[in-house]
Amino acid sequence: MPLFEKITLKESTEIKTTPGEIFDFFMHLDSNYREWHPEDHVLFYWVEGRPWEVGSISYAEEYLHGKLRKLKSRVTRIVPNRYIEYAPTSRLLRYYFPMGTFTIEPKGDTSIFTATVSMRVGWIVKALFRDKFENGLSSVRKHMKEEGENLKNILESQQPAGTHQRAGLNHTIGENTY
pLDDT tens digits along 97-130? 889 999 999 999 999 999 999 988 877 666 667 7
pLDDT tens digits along 36-67? 999 999 999 999 999 999 999 999 999 988 89
Judge if pTM exceeds 0.85. Answer: no
Instruction: Sketch out the chain's domains with CATH numbers.
Output: 4-156 (3.30.530.20)
Q: What is the DSSP string of 30-47?
A: HHHHHHHSTTTEEEEEEE
Around 113, how many Cα atoms within 13 Å sit in the side-chain half-sphere? 27
pLDDT surpassing 70 at residue 160:
no
Amino acid at position 62, single letter: E
